[in-house]
């Protein structure tokens, strides 16, 4: 039986991955949906045409990672796809965002993604795929999105290096680096508890359906990096050649528009 494990599955991009993997991936017989909100996961499970294991866990809490490791050991699944989509960001300066929120961003976006990856790897085999949801924010520093961008830079570089380590096992790792996604909770939550005026527009934001579809297609092709949209694709290329200090100045103009 082929298993797909998706974190952050109760909403947004994670939820969209559940829908698309269940309907389009022929080697998936069961989905394990991991997120904090049990009710939303149960609602999602009723809409999916493959069996769904609802696993309500807050991955910020280390004890829940330990629980999941034990859960894997008992079930011994054959994991064909892992999608680490759990994560969040906050908009604001260093003084706007609480230490708790900053710590939670680092824990969820970095540590939990790495923990889940390492926990699942013993149950993956040749041609299994790992999809790490990074961000176009990984390509440069972003003032007023500072902690979030730094966490995604960590996950991006972790994914790129892990891919090389796993080549002998035939396991593919794809770092997915989307631009803003407008039909998710991410932007509204990022504006909470901070000065959302620091970023005034989210022009050219994409949609979860197209981002997930392009990311899955890139993963099937074994690409190391997926930039699912024109803005993030151009950003990735430009950031390779223009010094970060200049990119930071450009961002300073863009965020004020």
| Model pLDDT for residues 4-28, shown as the tens digit of each residue | 999 999 999 999 999 999 999 989 9
| pTM summary value | 0.95
CA geometry: angle at 116 spanning 29 and 23, to 5°? 25
| CATH number of the domain residue 144 falls in | 3.40.50.720
C-alpha 36, offset from chain centre? 15
Owning domain of residue 150:
2-254
Q: Is the pLDDT of residue 107 over 90?
A: yes
**What proportion of the chain, given as a percentage, has pLDDT over 90?**
87
pLDDT tens readout for residues 192-235: 766 667 898 888 899 999 999 999 999 999 999 999 999 999 99
Number of domains in the chain: 1
C-alpha 89, offset from chain centre? 11
Helices 12-24 and 208-220 cross at an angle (nearest 10°) of 50
**Rounded distance between C-alpha atoms, residue 106 and residue 118, angstroms:** 17
């Amino acid at each position: 039986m082929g298993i797909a494990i998706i974190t952050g599955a109760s909403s947004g991009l994670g939820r969209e991955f559940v829908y698309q993997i269940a309907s389009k991936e022929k080697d998936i017989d069961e989905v394990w949906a991991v997120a904090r909100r049990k009710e939303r996961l149960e609602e999602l499970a009723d809409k999916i045409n493959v069996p769904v294991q609802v696993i309500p866990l807050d991955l910020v809490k280390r004890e829940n990672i330990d629980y999941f490791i034990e859960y894997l050991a008992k079930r011994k699944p054959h994991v064909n796809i892992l999608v680490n989509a759990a994560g969040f960001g906050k908009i604001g300066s260093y003084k706007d965002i609480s230490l708790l929120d900053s710590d939670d961003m680092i824990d969820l976006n970095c540590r939990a993604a790495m923990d889940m990856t390492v926990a699942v790897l013993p149950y993956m085999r040749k041609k299994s795929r790992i999809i790490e949801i990074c961000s176009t924010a990984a390509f440069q520093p972003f003032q007023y999105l500072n902690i979030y961008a730094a966490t995604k830079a960590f996950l991006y570089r972790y994914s790129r290096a892990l891919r090389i380590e796993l080549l002998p096992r035939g396991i593919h790792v794809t770092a997915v680096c989307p631009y803003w996604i407008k039909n998710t909770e991410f932007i509204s939550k990022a504006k909470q508890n901070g000065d959302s005026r620091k970023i005034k527009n989210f022009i050219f934001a994409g949609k979860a359906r197209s981002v997930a579809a392009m990311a899955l297609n890139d993963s099937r092709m074994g690409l190391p990096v997926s930039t699912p949209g024109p803005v993030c694709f151009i950003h990735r290329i430009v950031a390779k050649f223009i010094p970060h200090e200049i990119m930071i100045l450009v961002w300073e103009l863009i965020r004020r528009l």
